[in-house]
Structure 1
Amino acid sequence: MRIIKKDELFFLYYEQWIEMYKEGAVREITMRKYRMTLKWVKELLPTLKVYELNRTAYQQLLNEYALSHEKQTTMDFHHQLKGAILDAVDDGFIDRDPTRKAIIKGKPPKEKKPKFLNQFELNTLIKNLNLSDEINWDWLILLLAKTGMRFSEALGLTPNDFDFSYQTVSVNKTWDYKGHGGFLPTKNKSSIRKIQIDWQTTSQFVRLVKGFNENEPIFINGKVYNSTINNKLARHCKELGIPIISIHGLRHTHASLLLFAGVSMASVARRLGHSSMTTTQKTYLHIIHELENQDTDLIIRSISQLV
């Protein structure tokens, strides 16, 4: 690997930084994000040298990127660049941190689609699924709704991952549906977990996976696209007159119903495989606020009875 100098073009410095610090250290899906960031840097700052990167140049980069991206996407872009830039400061290539006090802008967000279903809507969906005698995509929809698993985690399930005696399903790998197929590690260590399932789902899958190879994924039969499953779920929702959500929305639905049912934040975080409760709290902040309002009403009713 060649020696980087302060008069190196910034996009070349960033490219080498990705190779040195991120290649092999992050998942492929994360690497794709870094490569996309590199593509934008090369397009927007093709001639800027490392030592020329000051606050003005960096803010201009963010502003130009924000013209065609929403604020959250621009924030992600900023975070992926910041690590490399701080290393350049530490190495003496840049005099001062140009990311300090950066202003994040972006296009107005698109109208938000519903992220989850309420209990009545989910029951309506489940009652109308085509749960045939053989594995199909509707069985995957059911399992995602009842476990809150990520799409890639469910695709990676094999018969060996089910413990029917204890009514659990183990999540210990994922399926590379975005790449060339095959098993991949889970998102993080916290994602490795056992999820309790109800007796009805247990008895259904006992029958469904009978005769399957113990170590082969039960939902995979050729190339899988998440758009295929999303479209199938969307058709169900449209036909039933309920909000159209994505496959990932089933995970949000699962977590939302548990929180509204009074399940603790810690238990929901473990069931979802979140690395910390902070992730769960940030993701479901709107539900937490609603539950706090309910708690306030309960508190007032309780203390009003004190005499």
Structure 2
Amino acid sequence: MASIVERPKSDGSVTYQVRWREGGGRVGQGGETENFSDRNSAEQFKLLVNAHGQHWPPGWVRGQGFVEEPAAPGDQPFVDWALRYVSRLTGIDERTRDDYEREIRLHLSLVTHTTHSGLVVPPTICNVTADDVTNWVRTEEEGLPDPDDPSKWSRRKADPKSIRTRHGLMFSIFQAAVEADPPLRTKNPCKGTRLPRIDDHIEEEMCFLEREEYTRVRTEITDPDAGDLTDWLVGSGTRWGEATALQVRDLNLNSETPTATITRAWKKGKKGSGTSMYLGPPKTRKGRRVLRLTPTQVAMLRRRTAGLSPEDFVFRTGAGKVWQHANFYNRKWRPAVEAATAKGLTKRVRIHDLRHTHVAWLIAARIPLPAIQIRLGHESISTTVDRYGHLVHALDDEISAAVEVALSIVPVQPGLRMVSGG
């Protein structure tokens, strides 16, 4: 362990010398020393040496202390670079760009850089380290209590899914710096970050309704237009924005295999643009999909589309207007759920849980996950597996039986030997 030796000088002052053996071994490269003019600085350095296993602290230059690397050419404040990166992204709608910019200002701006000497300084696109990113994750996880009232929050804890989403944006920002010409960084500090598990978070758990539970809620929706939309959501697994954007021309009801084609969805307009919602493509590329319809769905859709023009929306209010999410939730959905709860429903179900319920019913019917992925419009099978894989228990008996057969060994009678065929 490092020690401190006082060395008096001829002028009456004292030098405090920190001594240790490199690596801490009895036999090694010999003793190492560093001198200080005050005891406190020597004590601090001693702690650093001990913390680093009897090695020189990284970044420390003998006789000079911690020396930060000079700023790289082209370096700039992290937030400035991040906003510039987002402003130049292509292939995204303006609402998404607006959301990215908000995440940068409210959350990614919390990133700081800690120097070798422990000094916290503003981050730049070049000086942020993997440790800085880890510290940011902890900041997001822990939140910030209100100093005047510990029961309140100045900044609430972020849930694991939000942290992962923001970390993904941060990863892309730093990767752009790595791939810049000339490169501003040699590696991405977000690589290898240990992120919180999404399934550690309980509050955002999906809700799955049994058929009897769905019937309880559905019975309370007496408006026929709202009821048709509710049945479509749970029977098709489409997202709210996709269902309410469905038009007559998207339906093929006279074929032997009737279908509905999902080609568009409602999108939120950019703040300040004067447009609250607009029609755009589905959430993912594979969101463009064709859904096979049941006879019950065909009958309902024929009833709803009789006399309508090709570009009319299929699901509309009694006044013939497009459904607004807030209007449907506050006037139809929430009252129905509250009434069903008063009569014994024990689950707190959201509108989007109808999509989850649709999947649960398919899995219970032993529909394979790849088919469910296509029906939902998930970009990757991993999304489907991550969200719904834990529900695949209906095939447990078949899986156990298959494993039993595979591991069964036909006993060989004594005196007989196995003969290969051929």
User: What RMSD in Å do the two structures reach over aligned CA positions?
Assistant: 3.2
Alignment counterpart, residue 295 of structure 1, candidates 398, 402, 419: 398
Number of the residue aligned with 2:104: 38
- Which of 197, 209, 223 does residue 305 from structure 2 map onto? 209
* TM-score for the superposition, normalised by structure 2: 0.62
Q: Alignment partner of 1:51: what SS? A: coil
The corresponding residue for 2:185 is 94
The normalised TM-score by structure 1 is: 0.83
Q: Any idea what SS the aligned residue of 1:170 has?
A: strand
Question: Which of the numbers 51, 62, 71 marks the counterpart of 2:126?
Answer: 51
Which of 265, 272, 280 matches 2:384? 280
* Structure 1 counterpart of 2:285, one-letter code: K
1:147 aligns with one of 229, 236, 246: 236
Task: Determine helix, strand or coil for the equivalent of 2:137.
Answer: helix
Q: How much does 1:301 deviate?
A: 9.5
1:197 Cα deviation after fit = 1.8
Q: 1:79 aligns with which of 161, 168, 183?
A: 168
Q: Which amino acid aligns with 2:291?
A: I
Query: Structure 1 residues 268 and 25 mapped into 2: Cα distance closer, same or farther (>3 Å)?
Result: same
Give the aligned partner of residue 75 of structure 2.
Answer: 7
Taking the TM superposition and a 5 Å limit, the aligned residue runs for 1:210-229 are 210-219=306-315, 225-229=324-328
Q: Shift in Å at residue 261 of structure 1?
A: 0.6
Task: Report the CA distance shift for 1:195/1:97 in structure 2 as closer, same or farther (over 3 A).
Answer: closer
User: Helix, strand or coil for the counterpart of 1:195?
Assistant: strand
Q: What is the rounded CA distance, in whole Å, between the counterparts of 2:74 and 2:228 in structure 1?
A: 56
Counterpart selection for 1:117 from 209, 223, 243: 209
Question: In 2, Cα distance between the equivalents of 1:223 and 1:126?
Answer: 21
* Aligned partner of residue 378 in structure 2, secondary structure: coil
Q: Percent identity?
A: 17
Q: Which has the higher helix share?
A: 1
Task: Give yes or no for the alignment of 1:25 onto 2:117.
Answer: no
CA distance in 1, matches of 2:232, 2:187: 51
User: 1:279 & 1:75 partners in 2: Cα distance?
Assistant: 14
Distance in 2 (alpha carbons) for counterparts of 1:32 and 1:56: 28
Structure number with larger C-alpha Rg: 2
Counterpart in 1 of 2:57? none
Q: Tell me, yes or no, if the aligned pair for 1:69 and 1:106 is still in contact at 8 Å.
A: no
More strand by share: 2
Change (3 A) 1:37 1:111: closer
Q: Does the 8 Å contact 1:17/1:84 carry over to 2?
A: yes
- 5+ long unaligned stretches in structure 2: 1-71, 113-120, 143-156, 270-274, 411-422
Structure 2 residue corresponding to 1:182, chosen from 246, 266, 278? 278
Contact 1:63–1:105 (Cα < 8 Å) also in 2: no
